[in-house]
Amino acid sequence: MTARTKIVAGNWKMNKTVAEAISLVEQLKKDLAAFSGGEVVLCPPFTALASVAKLLPTSPRIQLGAQNLHPAAQGAFTGEISATMLREAGCRFVIVGHSERRRYFGETDAFLREKLLAAVAAGLRPIFCVGEELPDRESGRWPIHLRSQLQGALHGLPVEVLSEIILAYEPVWAIGTGRNATPEQAQEAHALLRKEMEILHGASIASPLRIQYGGSVTPQNARALLIQPDVDGLLVGGASLNAESFTSILLSVE
């Protein structure tokens, strides 16, 4: 089995002013000074990216990510931001296809595919989110839904793009609800995603692929999720907004 370095990302969503972001990152730097459990990615809002970038060391264990991008290089897309702009702001990662983007902004698989291409072309590693809604979980159709999201956005992408992607399994019913997937449900879904990636793109892509779990992760449930063989990290929303809870989640990686 390929050894995969764990990767934990904090998605701050539309939270934190610049001053609040700076204070959180300064605290995290202190708390994580001796941390050696894997990669850490912070995804603040756009307005805080440059200030947070200045606080992160140059060969960082803590890296910077954005929450979204537009696939076009530039142009008349009011309110949007390009991959090159994110790189310039110091980002190495970008979240693509979060369920909130799909739900509230109508982002389709085809559009997300363009974002993946643009992100990698600019040197960003995409954290590509997939996940089923509650009716699909309850009816047992969730594997069909996950396969369709993978195929819809990733079919035919070149190896250079696929090999940069980090996948995040985020069941929509678990996001911000306090109801996390059980470790067994997460493992089952992650194994299915890895198998599907192998069928679609081969073992050389599927085996090193890191798959994060996201959805109501807390210091209490992080470890049980992380010890599953196909859970290679976490994508944390609410609990990443507080230094104590995010640090405690990270320490469960070690």
From 70, 98, 145, 190, the catalytic residue: 98
CA distances from 115 to 66, 72, 97 (A): 13, 8, 9
User: Minimum Å distance from CB 237 to ligand PEP?
Assistant: 2
Run of H or E including 236: strand 233-236
Q: How far apart are CA 165 and CA 96, in angstroms?
A: 10
User: Minimum Å distance from CB 14 to ligand PEP?
Assistant: 11
What is the three-state SS of 146-183? HHHHHHHHHCCCCHHHHCCCEEEECCHHHCCCCCCCCH
236 binds ligand PEP (CB under 6 A): yes
Q: Do residues 24 and 55 lie in contact, with contact meaning Cβ atoms separated by under 8 Å?
A: no
Q: By CB under 6 A, how many residues form the interface with ligand PEP?
A: 13
Residue nearest to ligand PEP (CB): 237
Of the residues 39, 170, 196, 232, which one makes contact with ligand PEP according to CB under 6 A? 170
Of the residues 86, 118, 235, 250, which one makes contact with ligand PEP according to CB under 6 A? 235
Q: Give the alpha-carbon dihedral of 61, 66, 42, 157, to 10 degrees.
A: -60
11 binds ligand PEP (CB under 6 A): yes
Nearer of residues 205 and 250 to ligand PEP, judged by Cβ: 250
From 39, 100, 170, 196, the catalytic residue: 170
98 flagged as catalytic: yes
Q: Which stretch binds ligand PEP (CB under 6 A): 35-43, 169-177, 191-199, 219-227?
A: 169-177
How far from each other are the two terminal CA atoms of the chain, in whole angstroms? 20
Residues with a catalytic annotation lie at 98, 170
Residue numbers of the site for ligand PEP (CB under 6 A)?
11, 170, 175-176, 214-217, 235-239
